[in-house]
Amino acid sequence: MDKFDRIYAVHQALQSSRYPVSRKKLEDILECTQSTVERTLSNMRIYLNAPIDYDRDKNGYYYNIKNNENYELPGLWFNADELYALTVTQELLSKLQAGLLDEQVKPLKNRIQKLLADKQTGTEQLNARLTFLHQTARKNNPPAFQKIASAVIQRKQLNIDYHARGSDEKTTRLISPQRLLYYSDNWYLDAYCHIREAMRSFSLDRIKQTHTKNTKAKEINSKKLDQYYTQAYGIFSGSSIATAIIKFTPERARWVAEENWHPKQKGEWLNDGHYLLHIPYSDPTELVMDILKYGADAEILSPLELRAQVAEKVKNLQAIYEKEVAPLLDGGVGVVELLKQEIPPCY
């Protein structure tokens, strides 16, 4: 523990204790000798104006502060663990979407690096040990993101040009932003659309132009927002229209049973090791895609309409491959043997 950490540890001990702290306890906290404790206390009194006194009756040190005030160390103080935690947080923010908050967090990052340098450590090893994988992240426009984030916080209306991915429709909207949402490696804006006169979700990568208006945003209370955006599955908003019941095989159930698909989900173990997951949903699009990725390890039991949609997807998928695979299978070639023929070995 270096001198900065010792000062910080003594400060934390004196500030958090209701009674004077003995020298022996400080030695244990700092893992040092009596002389080191006394030198640390002396440095705090001389250089940091710390109001440290000694109570002979209670055999301990304390902050002699009147009128229930608090003494704080001057400047910005962190111990090594807190500095590393801040660095991890900064890296996480920067890796979520490169460039979005670089200018805003740059001063903090520089300060953290200087503090770590003073402790004769650094961020190089830490950064080298952090890995962030974003397989489906879409690119955003950092200046637009900053305008949108500012409008959300300052409660200002926005004019946006929006290009919807699903319909390929281009529209100009006047919106009152409510919340920013980071979901599945991408950013979304929940906002009240004054043209549609209803709540809408906008993918930030599809917002092409933004203009902040000097008009107060329409307020939607948090309870209504929670009801609107958390009742149904995934990114699709609105009240749930049904509950999907999905049965997972015992092998896949070991993973699914510990996953959080939805705040209102319910799980049920069956005697044979299968697992039933109950999921409320409104628009089935995203739910169907997530179920299909489990292949034969997931079966929709109800409702029948959702089961039929997945069956139709599987049928269409089969039609794509059966012309190539069927003759080989008819000739007695198994799927595994087929894959061995098509894929060269790796060395």
Which token pair is 171? 């529209």
Mean pLDDT value of segment 249-278: 94
Residue 30 lies in a domain: yes
Same domain, 190 and 257: no
Residue 267 lies in a domain: yes
Mean pLDDT value of segment 123-136: 65
Same domain, 122 and 149: no
The domain total for the chain is 4
Residue 59 lies in a domain: yes
Residue environment code for 139-157, b if the CB has 16+ CB neighbours within 10 A, otherwise e: ebbeebbebbbebbeeebb
Residue 299 lies in a domain: yes
Same domain, 146 and 99: no
Tell me the residue type at 210: T
Residue 347 lies in a domain: no
Same domain, 303 and 250: yes
Which token pair is 140? 């955003």
Strand order in the sheet with 156-163: 198-203, 186-193, 170-183, 156-163, 207-216
50, containing H or E segment: none
Cis ω for the linkage preceding 177 (within 30 of 0):
no
What percent of the chain is modeled with pLDDT above 90? 46
Residue 101 lies in a domain: yes
Confidence of residue 90 (pLDDT cuts 50, 70, 90): low
Structural contact between residues 44 and 93, judged by C-beta atoms closer than 8 angstroms: no
Residue 295 lies in a domain: yes
Same domain, 316 and 247: yes
Same domain, 197 and 161: yes
Q: Above 70 in pLDDT, residue 101? A: no
CATH number at residue 221: 2.30.30
Residue 202 lies in a domain: yes
For tokens 């004054």, the residue is 194
DSSP secondary structure letter of residue 19: S
Q: Of 127 and 226, which is predicted with more confidence?
A: 226
Helices and strands counted in the chain (H then E): 12, 11
Integer CA distances (angstroms), 285 to 186, 227, 230, 256, 346, in order: 17, 20, 16, 20, 37
Domain stops at, among 175, 201, 230: 230
Radius of gyration of the chain (CA): 29
Integer CA distances (angstroms), 63 to 3, 17, 40, 66, 226, in order: 20, 10, 14, 9, 46
Q: Above 80 in pLDDT, residue 256? A: yes
- Name the 3-class secondary structure at 284: coil
- Name the 3-class secondary structure at 308: helix
- Beta-carbon count within 10 A of 242 CB: 15
Domain stops at, among 28, 63, 98: 63
Q: Of 332 and 181, which is predicted with more confidence?
A: 181
Confidence of residue 267 (pLDDT cuts 50, 70, 90): very high
Domain span at residue 38?
Answer: 3-63
pLDDT at residue 175, rounded to an integer: 97
Mean pLDDT value of segment 39-59: 93
- Listing DSSP states for 259-273 in one string gives --S-TT-EEEE-TTS
Confidence of residue 347 (pLDDT cuts 50, 70, 90): very low
CATH number at residue 58: 1.10.10.10
CATH number at residue 297: 3.30.70
- 258 vs 167: CA distance, rounded Å: 36
